[in-house]
Each structure stands twice: as C-alpha cells, then as structure tokens.
C-alpha cells in the first residue's frame, strides 16, 4: 500500500531561521512521482516541485531546496532564511502512475514563521 | 493564478439537497482531478478524468458523481447532502508529467 507521512503537524520558527519539513513515503512501485505543495492562508494549493522516482538529484530553487533519498524513502523540504510569507501548510504527495493510478497526500505540516 | 477556474467560490445549502460544482482546466490540460479537503480527513482524492474518460477513482461516495465534457470542463455533483459533506472541494488539472495545478476551491457548507 502507498502512504505518505508528514510527522510534523506544526512547526514554529523565527524569521531568518532555516527549517526542514520531513516527508516519508511508502510504496512498492519502482515508478512514481513525489510532489510538494504549499497552501497559504488564502487556501489555494500551489505547486512547488515534482520529482520522479528515477531522479534523486537534489534541487535548489532560491531559498527552497529538496532532498530526495530513495534509500530512506524520504523527500524532505528545506527553507533557508525563512520569511513570514512562508507561513503556510505544506503538503507532500505521492502519485502512482503504474497499474491503478493513486494520488496520496500527506496530512500536511503547518509552518508558522514569526517576525 | 494556476489557470484553473472553479465556480462557485462559496456554497451554502441544506441537508438532503443536491449541488453541482464546476471546474475549467488550464488550457491544454486533458486531466481533471477532484479532491475534498476537510479538517478531520485532510486532502482526499475523489476522482480523475482524462479527456472525457474516468481514469482513477479514490474515496468518492456513491452520492457523489462527476463527469468531464467534450470541452474538458468538469462537474462534480453532490447529492443527498449531509452535514459531514461540508468541506473545501478542489479541482486540479494535470499535465503529461502528472503535475496537478489546483483551482481556488469551492467552500461548501451544509446546514
């Protein structure tokens, strides 16, 4: 069975601190996609990154970076020098594209960045 | 702005009623997905359509149904509404790499 675990329900940091959001997934498939989405207080879900299961290269986009490790089934997200505008709920998701399609989202991590 | 539109933005109705939520995907996307987000259940995948055909089904109740029309817009029909159906309903459209772009959502309140 497929599963996505975001064990951190809520994290509070002070502005300019670095913060890492954890995502652990379970799947027996060899082909899958992993995603991160941001849901700010306005409610809309914003796409941040997609990774396919064959691409373990880490990625950096500005203050955001992602670490994908198949050996530990983790796809962690780090925000460097956090800002108040980063306050949101962040969701990790696993999408299975072989056989029966499945779309599984984690329960989300609420990040509060304090000024 | 993701390019996905959803109407209405808010909907208030009574138990036992039926409502229809509408979604227009981004230009060029053939896939439409529906999700329900409630406080206690998180983000739950309901159903996916690809170019008019149902492709995947998640935790969609029998009281709920959806379809995708030839112009690729989609509708989610919720009937015999219960208090527990109150939630935020998202539509997303997808590209060939399965990236989903979400609309602003429809907030449904069943009284």
Q: Please report residues of B whose CB lies closer than 8 A to that of A100.
A: 56
d(CA B74, CA A24): 33
Identify the residue among A32, A42, A44 best suited for mutation to test binding to B, counting B beta carbons within 10 A and taking the highest. Answer: A44
d(CA B72, CA B82): 29
pLDDT in tens, A54-85: 988 888 899 999 999 999 999 999 999 999 99
- Out of A33, A47, A108, closest to residue B101 by CB: A47
Say if the Cβ atoms of A44 and B97 lie within 8 Å: no
d(CA B18, CA A38): 31
| Mean pLDDT within A6-27 | 97
Indicate the length of chain A as a whole number.
115
Helix ranges restricted to H, chain A: none
pLDDT at position B23 is 98
Burial of residue A78 (number of CB atoms within 10 Å: 0-12, 13-18, 19+): middle
Q: Comparing A99 with B18, which gets the higher pLDDT?
A: B18
d(CA B48, CA B45): 8
| Mean pLDDT within B8-37 | 96
pLDDT at position B1 is 84
pLDDT at position B9 is 96
- Residues belonging to chain B with any Cβ–Cβ distance to chain A shorter than 8 Å: 2, 33, 42-45, 48, 55-56, 58, 88, 90, 92, 97-105
Q: What three-state secondary structure class fits B79?
A: coil
d(CA A103, CA A91): 12
Q: Comparing A97 with A8, which gets the higher pLDDT?
A: A8
Q: What three-state secondary structure class fits A86?
A: helix
pLDDT at position B5 is 97
């Amino acid at each position: 069975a497929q599963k996505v675990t975001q064990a951190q329900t809520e994290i509070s940091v002070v502005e300019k601190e670095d913060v890492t959001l954890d995502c652990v997934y379970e799947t027996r498939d060899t082909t899958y996609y992993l995603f991160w989405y941001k849901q700010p207080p306005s409610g809309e879900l914003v796409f941040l990154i997609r990774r396919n299961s064959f691409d373990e290269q880490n990625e950096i986009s500005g203050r955001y970076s992602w670490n994908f490790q198949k050996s530990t089934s983790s796809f962690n997200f780090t925000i460097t020098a956090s800002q108040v505008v980063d306050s949101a709920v962040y969701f990790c998701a696993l999408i299975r594209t072989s056989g029966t399609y499945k779309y599984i989202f984690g329960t989300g991590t609420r990040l509060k960045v304090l000024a | 702005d993701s390019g996905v539109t959803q109407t209405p933005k808010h909907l208030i109705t009574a138990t036992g009623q039926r409502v229809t939520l509408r979604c227009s995907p981004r230009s060029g996307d053939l896939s439409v997905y529906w999700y329900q987000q409630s406080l206690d259940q998180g983000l739950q995948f309901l159903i996916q359509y690809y170019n008019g055909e149902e492709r995947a089904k998640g935790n969609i109740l029998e009281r709920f149904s959806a379809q995708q029309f030839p112009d690729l817009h989609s509708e989610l029909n919720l009937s015999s509404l219960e208090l527990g159906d109150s939630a935020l309903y998202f539509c997303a459209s997808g590209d060939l790499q399965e990236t989903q772009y979400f609309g602003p959502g429809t907030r449904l309140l069943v009284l």
